[in-house]
Amino acid sequence: MHILSKSTYIKGLQCEKALYMQKKHPYLRDKLSIEQRAKFQRGTDVGVLAHAYFPGGVDMSPNSPSQFPKKVQETMTNLANPAVNVMYEAVFQHNDTLIMLDILVRDGEKWMAVEVKSSLRLSDTYYNDAALQYYVLHGCGVPLSDFKLMYLNADYVKNGAIDVKQLFKLESVMEYVVEREDFVAKNVERLKAVVALPHAPVVEIGERCNDPYPCDFYGHCWKHVREPNFYTIDYKTLYSLAPQPKPRSVGYLNLLLHRPAVPEIDGTKPYEEMILAFALQGEHETNDCFVWDCFDDHSRWREAIPVLIEKLSHYELIVCFTPQNLTTTLLRHEIIQNKEVGHKIFNLFDVLQEAHFYHPAIKRGMTLQRLAEALFPDSKLFEHSRIILEATAHDLIGYQQAKEDLIAENEIVAKTYQHFFK
Ligand code: SF4
């Protein structure tokens, strides 16, 4: 069996302890968030779509880890079979390190390796990842003509069926991966030695815990960190940020934005933002919260814009809670015409951050779900990402649940505003 894989190697580059824990104590990992799971799924979906760029390949994906040795053998057999010109998820092992290569394409006497990324640009981690794959392929004696990273083309505009040749871009990293081979070889030996240690290495917590990825063992390593176990806030700053003069009318806004990696609607690009729904509740309105959505037909998403323009005009102050810059979002969609209107938007997320709001429930960063847990323990919110899953589930029960969750979130926004500013 192998000791390292692509993911454990990358984890080891980030932190030796994270690698050790992953191999020896995986049960201590933090629970995956809905957002993280959606990210993995997105990577898988884009990877499968990329196969169409090099059609007619043999899929080597194992059904379970126990099949790895068999798949390694089959991959080597296919390399020697002139009838096989493309392989997906070919499995290779060298020096106790196992990789699954997204796409391998016959190129004359040699092969071209392709690794797919569901991103709009390439990062250092992707280069490190490619370098490890090259190290293993070279170690297995696979003659390579090129090694390419394949990623999403930010300029692609969907028009009818997805054109994979236009959707993806290819960039050769051959020179880089050849140059990095010694670096990878040294790190593979170092990380194998880490896995063989009798105890977890001692590593100080710090910036590494979030760079380049939030570590899976954050909860485990940070649990002993002494932090206030009570809620704190700088009221002086908070009140200095209060809307002045007191607004005559307040509307609470909750936007549901969707950024599909692969464009769903004609005229949109990869990761282009769409408004799938919004909930808007007036402070003194006793009737139901107004909800607009296009869950059943995302191509209608632009219809949200005139409705929002009209609805928002009724309020002097718009209160929201979002880690994003709502003013920028509204400007982008021409819902507001200039930045000056931004002063009408009161983002509780920014305000509470600026007033150094702290509560043990928000130890790992502030989300509306954690804020609700901190201020109103009886209210039960889920992760905001869950609403996207419900709204894109293509079933009526999911749509209904998404609307209810959107309203429940907006109620927390309203309660929070009233808690601090009334
Ligand atoms: S939380 Fe930090 S110190 Fe702990 S394993 Fe992860 S990266 Fe290493």
- For helices 6-14 and 124-139, the axis angle rounded to 10 degrees is 130
Shared domain for 342 and 408, answered yes or no, is yes
Whether residues 311 and 166 share a domain: the answer is no
Ligand 1 atom closest to 205 (CA) = 3
Same domain, 144 and 8: yes
The alpha carbon of 186 and the centre of ligand 1 are apart by a number of angstroms equal to 22
Res 222: pLDDT: 84
Q: What is the CA(202)–ligand 1 centre distance, in A? A: 10
Q: Which of 218, 223, 224 to mutate to test the pocket of ligand 1 (most atoms within 8 A of CB)?
A: 218
Q: 89-111 b/e with 16+ CB inside 10 Å = b?
A: bbbbbbeebbbbbbbbbbeeeeb
Range of the domain at 250: 235-421
Flag whether pLDDT at 288 surpasses 80.
no
* Rounded Cα–Cα distance for residues 135 and 11 (Å): 17
Of the candidates 51, 114, 111, the one whose C-alpha atom is nearest the C-alpha of residue 78 is 111
Residue finishing a domain among 189, 222, 255: 222
- 210 CA → ligand 1 middle, Å: 8
- Residue 227, in any domain of the structure: no
H helix runs in 80-169, sequence order: 124-139, 164-167
12 alpha carbon to ligand 1 midpoint, in Å?
10
Q: Establish if 230 belongs to a structural domain.
A: no
Q: Are residues 256 and 362 in the same domain?
A: yes
- Residue whose CB lies within 8 A of the most ligand 1 atoms, among 8, 221, 224, 225, for a mutation test: 221
Same domain, 47 and 146: yes
pLDDT over 70 at 226, yes or no: no
- Does 110 fall in a domain? yes
Average pLDDT over every residue of 113-120: 96
Q: What is the pLDDT of residue 145?
A: 97
Cα–Cα nearest to 22, from 213, 170, 186: 213
DSSP assignment of 325-340 equals: -HHHHHHHTTSSSSGG
Indicate whether 65 belongs to any domain. Answer: yes
Same domain, 173 and 275: no
Specify whether 218 is located in the same domain as 295.
Answer: no
Q: What is the DSSP letter of 288?
A: P
Q: 269 pLDDT exceeds 70?
A: yes
**Mean pLDDT value of segment 324-342:** 82
pLDDT: which is higher, 231 or 18: 18
Q: Which atom of ligand 1 lies nearest, measured to the CA of 17?
A: 5
pLDDT over 80 at 225, yes or no: no
* 41 or 150: which leads in pLDDT: 150
Residues 6+ apart with CB under 8 A from 405: 381, 382, 386, 387, 390
Predicted confidence band at 31 (pLDDT cuts at 50, 70, 90)? confident
- Rounded to the nearest angstrom, the distance between the alpha carbon of 30 and the centre of ligand 1 is 12
Q: Which atom of ligand 1 is nearest to the CA of 204?
A: 3
Domain count of the chain?
2
- Say if residue 217 is in the same domain as residue 252: no
Ligand 1: atom nearest CA of 216 is 6
State the residue for tokens 């106790």.
96
* CATH code, 259: 3.30.420.10
Residue 346 carries which DSSP code?
A: E
pLDDT at 262: 95
Average pLDDT along the chain = 92
Kindly state whether residue 21 falls inside one of the protein's structural domains: yes
Question: Tens of pLDDT along 79-107?
Answer: 999 999 999 999 999 999 999 999 999 99
Which pair of structure tokens corresponds to residue 142? Answer: 């696979």
> Which of 151, 47, 143, 136 lies closest to 97, judged by CA?
136
Last-in-domain residue among 176, 199, 222? 222
CATH code for the domain of 65:
3.90.320
Distance in angstroms (rounded) separating the CA atoms of residues 51 and 116: 9
Least-confidence region, from 138-147, 148-157, 212-221, 258-267: 212-221
- With a pLDDT cut of 70, the percent of the chain lying above it is 97
Query: Which residue, judged by its Cα, is nearest atom 4 of ligand 1?
Result: 221
20-48 mean pLDDT: 89
Q: Is residue 228 part of a domain?
A: no
Q: Which amino acids bring their CB within 6 angstroms of ligand 1? A: 15, 17-18, 21, 203, 205, 208-209, 215, 217-218, 221
Same domain? For 184 and 280 the reply is: no
Whether residue 229 is contained in a domain is answered as no
Q: Which of 13, 209, 222 to mutate to test the pocket of ligand 1 (most atoms within 8 A of CB)?
A: 209
Per residue in 159-169, pLDDT (tens digit) is: 999 999 999 99
27 and 116 part of one domain: yes
- In a shared domain, residues 329 and 207: no
**pLDDT at position 123:** 92
Residue 284 clears pLDDT 70, i.e. is over it = yes
> Going by C-beta distance under 8 Å and a sequence separation of 6 or more, which residues neighbour residue 6?
99, 100, 129, 132, 133
Look at residue 180 in the predicted model and tell me its pLDDT.
96
| Rounded Cα distance, 47 and 56, in Å | 15
Dist. CA 2 → ligand 1 center (Å): 23
Q: What is the pLDDT of residues 391-418, one digit of tens each?
A: 988 899 999 999 999 999 999 999 999 9
Is residue 41, in this structure, part of any structural domain at all?
A: yes
Q: Tell me if residue 201 falls in helix, strand or coil.
A: coil
15 C-alpha to ligand 1 centroid (Å): 6
Of 173, 192, 222, the one marking the end of a domain is: 222
Write phi, then psi, for 201 (nearest 5 degrees): -65, 150
273 in the same domain as 162: no
Q: Which residues pair with 116 in a beta bridge?
A: 150
